[in-house]
Structure 1
């Protein structure tokens, strides 16, 4: 990113659902490379697309769901989907990072960190971010980015129980 690149984070409007659906295809594609050999998940259908994300429509109809679009210089560059779902059996959170994606062109240039810090500033509360054990890049990114946010406290890492979640779960409070 050059110093002149403008990052923006906007609440997605219902008419932007097709944009999120398109970005979701790239997100799912990235996850597909993490599937173990022999897996039947993350297969392309007869039209060359992945199955649609099953909860996307709920982001405009259910309370507590927040769809956000990340842009660089006005161009779509990623998204964040926030909900209140906990990945722990006994967990309660106000905010959960349901999905988070930055297009490959914009990775490693500060957009993801900027977006997370902006999101935490706009949406305070008790947060949870669950990381799939197989997502090695995310396991490195999330704890560093969370700890670098200036408005977080009570940071704790919990291991998923293997039933509700497999992988680390980060909980914290954003003020």
Structure 2
């Protein structure tokens, strides 16, 4: 299996926009977000990935097939001084539970050295288990996890859990 991260170009923006809709549809089971009048979730910050510095979007490509995406920026989710935030992370169902997500997460962390923060929704139990395992392994258990971090609300009002670590 060949796993690659490919930088999303402005010409590929529509593809990322389409994948973000699938991601947001899945995520709506935890944050209870509704679609807009056009039947879409939308992603308010999509254009920022080509108009602002310090925003990076990558497609996850497995054997030349789109398998998801990962988005990184330097915009903090919470009031902690960090260099990078894992903004969005999506692996399509077909590609889950075979090490692709772990490989991609670790590769992205290795690409950007500094202080990281990562927010997860505590109701997304699969994500809770995934990030607990990946971050523990990546950092050798040298991280901080703040559950129900103040002022980290999702659309449903649930406070996010925040991982903080340095690489």
TM-score of the two chains, using structure 1 as the length reference? 0.85
Give the CA deviation at 1:154.
3.9
Q: CA deviation at 1:74?
A: 0.9
Aligned to 1:172: 165
Q: What is the distance in 1 between the residues matched to 2:165 and 2:45?
A: 25
Name the residue aligned to 2:116: 127
In 1, are the aligned partners of 2:2 and 2:62 still within 8 Å (CA)? yes
Separation (CA, whole Å) in 2 of partners of 1:106 and 1:123: 24
Report the counterpart of residue 30 of structure 1 in structure 2.
Answer: 26
User: Post-superposition shift, 1:128?
Assistant: 0.4
Gaps of 5+ in 2: 154-158
Contact 1:81 1:99 in 2 (8 A): yes
Which ranges of structure 1 fall in alignment gaps of 5 or more residues? none
User: In the comparison of the two structures, how many residue pairs are matched?
Assistant: 162
User: Does residue 16 of the first structure (1) align with residue 12 of the second (2)?
Assistant: yes
Distance 2:42 2:136 in 1: 33
In 1, Cα distance between the equivalents of 2:140 and 2:166? 5
SS of the equivalent of 2:143 reads strand
Q: 2:67 aligns with which of 72, 77, 80?
A: 77
Distance 2:97 2:164 in 1: 24
2:147 aligned residue: 159
- Deviation of the 1:123 alpha carbon: 1.1
User: d(CA) in 1 for partners of 2:96 and 2:149?
Assistant: 30
Contact 2:7 2:59 in 1 (8 A): yes
Shift of the alpha carbon at 1:92? Answer: 1.3
Off by >6 Å, runs of 4+ in structure 1: none
The TM-score with structure 2 as length reference comes to: 0.89
Instruction: Using the TM superposition, give the Cα deviation of residue 121 of structure 1 relative to its aligned residue in structure 2, in angstroms.
Output: 1.1
